[in-house]
Structure 1
């Protein structure tokens, strides 16, 4: 018989065993994991080269729109420029003085485009934040608190059955045209889709074992929602917020197109595109439509791609 299985009269042969020294540091290392959800999300996101390039591009655009008015030799977007004789410099083609040319009344398009981009981005971000706050709050209660389901469903049906376009037009027509009016009008309906989406996702996971255990232990409802439910929805929430920004900019362009957007003295991408649309049939003046359309396309496409890329990166199943 092998020595390995040899037994003494007292039991197992003690010479076959060697006691290990206790090492506190080694014990700590065996139970330690350096995994970080957000660090892993960032690493997965950076593997998408297209999204990483667009993120840098959007960062540069946002920073430039903020600092552009303070750079040297920048013109005022609302000022009408004239020559020495007092004649308005109308429809000047792009040149050394006016890099993007001038519009039909002699305003500098370069400064107006960046001022309009700043305005449209502000509207988009404000609407995205409002949509996230209201939509997540209402959707979480709607999906988890069963006693509120019927009441919120009735509210949802009323709002959802009113065409968004009609409600936007009515609010923009009744209220005084301004940035705050536009944000309020868009937020009145934009949260509904977010709330419905969050509600459906929470219904799927609300009755899982760990949530039932939390309820049995007396965990407050708000803590279950914040700690057990919403962390599972980070990826889809970020996607919806990212898509809400170009969506809000699109609504602003639409309302301006039909004449219910921002005042003409407030530069925005909607106003600029609407002005360029009126003269697009003149080949020598199409630059007034092309430049703002390019900026609008870059912003909307970038947010769409970044939202999808971040949603994929935030999914723990894609983490190593």
Structure 2
């Protein structure tokens, strides 16, 4: 067989016969898409996201490393009146308080304790809420009990609830965790339940069920990627809210014990002397604002990046 195409002679020797394989024919639409790779690529495209992430890593790492290497006792009281309410100096970078305690050391010890408190509350609140919400979304029989429980807990004003629980229990780290997490988990569960109900009835999940796709694969491929962004968002919002709640409870005298150094206690102690020694409140407040704002912004941006709809 010889033909001419634009003056070129076509012969059979120019072609190579390929064997047909049914398994390989299904790879026509294959893509090397990776959910987490696309998420991080989208997140780190923004310089602001990189800056905020580095700021969080710097603050968190320094707050945990400094207490390990520092020889300064944050609760050490000096009897020398000249060291009381001292301004910033090479010996005391943030100055001292009314008892001569170093505010620089107390700030980073307090940051570590406040972060531990906030991370514990976020882990309990969002973790329990997500698990309960997943069961709530798939087991319709739970609606009657869970909706009544949700209405009972959320109809009680949060301030009244926190004050009553703090009065009943002895002020401590565990008390604050229970007070905040015991109320927040039900809201997280309701939020996750509503989202899971929406995802269950979506077209691609119905099609997967009709095709006989295993439930584990449906959950891992069709549902979890859509919930990761929500979980990260809720956890990012819980951390600054928890620190703020600890500051509020300390303001009304129901927070952590005064001998425990936290940003909340430092802000409340500095507030009493703000007119005479404003730096005693401004330094801890500045660190508190940096932590809450950076966690909130990073959480929002990472939540957007982890949404599969924003992946290219």
Shorter-chain TM band: 0.7 to 0.9
Deviation at 1:135, TM superposition (A): 0.9
1:88–1:105 CA contact under 8 A, matched in 2: no
Deviation at 1:248, TM superposition (A): 0.5
Paired with 1:223 and 1:171, the residues of 2 have a C-alpha distance of: 42
Query: What is residue 248 of structure 1 aligned with on the other side?
Result: 242
Query: What is residue 111 of structure 2 aligned with on the other side?
Result: 117
Q: Secondary structure at the match of 1:107?
A: coil
Could you say if the C-alpha distance between residues 57 and 71 of structure 1 is closer, same or farther in structure 2, counting changes exceeding 3 Å? same
Query: What is residue 143 of structure 2 aligned with on the other side?
Result: 149
Paired with 2:246 and 2:160, the residues of 1 have a C-alpha distance of: 14
Query: What is residue 8 of structure 1 aligned with on the other side?
Result: none
Q: Secondary structure at the match of 2:94?
A: coil
Q: Secondary structure at the match of 1:93?
A: coil
Paired with 1:243 and 1:129, the residues of 2 have a C-alpha distance of: 12
Deviation at 1:275, TM superposition (A): 0.6
2:76 to 76, 79, 83: 79
1:46 to 44, 47, 53: 44
2:153 to 155, 159, 164: 159
2:85–2:98 CA contact under 8 A, matched in 1: yes
Q: Secondary structure at the match of 1:165?
A: helix
1:276 matched to 2:273: no
Q: Secondary structure at the match of 1:265?
A: coil
Paired with 2:167 and 2:147, the residues of 1 have a C-alpha distance of: 28
How many residues are matched? 303
Unaligned runs of 5+ in 1: 5-12
Query: What is residue 293 of structure 1 aligned with on the other side?
Result: 285
Paired with 1:32 and 1:213, the residues of 2 have a C-alpha distance of: 19
Alignment root-mean-square deviation, CA: 2.9
Deviation at 1:50, TM superposition (A): 1.2
1:131-154 CA distance string (max 9 Å, x none): 121111121122222111121111
Deviation at 1:288, TM superposition (A): 0.3
Q: Secondary structure at the match of 2:249?
A: helix
Q: Between 285-294 and 88-97, report the one with greater CA deviation.
A: 88-97
1:48–1:309 CA contact under 8 A, matched in 2: no
1:308 to 275, 291, 300: 300
Query: What is residue 16 of structure 2 aligned with on the other side?
Result: 19
2:126–2:185 CA contact under 8 A, matched in 1: yes
